Amino acid sequence: MTGEADLASAVINLNHPDHYFHWGFVLISEANLVVVAIMLALFVAAIALPFMRPRPAAGHAPAAPASSEDHEPPPDGGSEASGTWTGALRRIGLRYLPPSKLLPDAQPAYVASWVYVFGVLTVAALGIVVATGLVLAVEGPAWWHTSNIGHFVNSLHLWSVELFMGFMAIHLWAKFWMAAWRGKRSLTWMSGVVAFLLAVVEAFTGYLSQTNFDSQWIAFESKDAFNGSGIGALLDPMNFGQALMLHIALLPLALVLVVALHVLMVRMRGVVPPIDARPEDLGVGGASARGTDDPSPAREEVPSR
């Protein structure tokens, strides 16, 4: 019984140094080698088993292969897909966001104004922020302090954040004075406000993740506010690991999703026309771009430029 107990203890107890195999430049542990071997065996079996099926007996012709036409969905999302969730989602998507709205090739004439440019500039700056942030995350927190390339990427990340916040603030105030919630666009307006609030929290965690004197000062000065608000037990600004993970994982994902939702809602309802726009200025035939529920007058669409 003692031998069986020792064997079971050796298998279950993992609190001991692992055994490694070293072949040239390959260094792999015994446990990882077993896992890789099992994965390769399953891969080979998945490929080989379909070819090991018994062949049909003589006189029984195999079934004709299905053509591509058999797999194409009904063009109008008809009754064949009425009981599936994929068909329901497709019909909902085509109803509220048809391809002509999702990827339009024309915009209303009044979009040529500079006030409509800051929304696109905000999304472009966000793309640079995400790209540079991914590079910084790959190399680690200390890289941008010890490498010239890291310092450049960190500076590019910082200035793209500054532009992102600046363009977003201008876009937010411009849409406020334009009453951008007109034409049943209230959810579009609120999603933009939520994106702005998420960006503020994301920028705060970015300051905490700088690993310099500024981040230390901000963390110590903000801890009293966190404790006074009652969330100090959940969020500790002096916990660098928590601040960094919030900054590179949870908050960016939430911010990108809200911004994507905001852009899709803009596509659904269209951009809001100016408040003092006259029918003769807007033209006719633009109902598809502004949305059928928009009470503003129709206007002519022109190719985007």
What's the pLDDT at 305? 40
Q: Which residues of 270-282 are buried (b: 16+ CB within 10 A; e: fewer)?
A: bbbbeeeeeeeeb
Where does the pLDDT of residue 302 fall: very low under 50, low under 70, confident under 90, or very high at 90 and above? very low
Q: In this predicted model, what pLDDT tens digit does every residue of 17-52 receive, in sequence order?
A: 778 888 888 888 888 888 899 999 998 888 888 777
Two tokens at 53?
């099926």
Q: What is the CATH number of domain 117-273?
A: 1.20.810.10
Interior angle at CA 255, CA 211 and CA 249, nearest 5: 45
Distance CA 180, CA 261 (A): 16
> How does pLDDT run across 193-238, given as a tens digit for each residue?
999 999 999 999 999 998 888 899 999 999 988 888 888 888 899 9
**Span 262-284, pLDDT tens digits:** 999 999 888 888 887 766 555 44
Instruction: Tell me the mean pLDDT in the region 87-115.
Output: 84
Could you tell me the pTM of the whole model? 0.68
Cα separations in angstroms, 21 against 14, 30, 35, 196: 18, 7, 14, 52
- Integer Cα distance of 102 and 95 in angstroms: 12
Q: Which residues contact 82 (CB under 8 A, 6 or more apart)?
A: 88
pLDDT, position 300: 42
pLDDT per residue as tens digits for the range 52-72:
777 766 666 555 555 545 555
Nearest CA to 184 out of 71, 266, 75, 255 is that of: 266
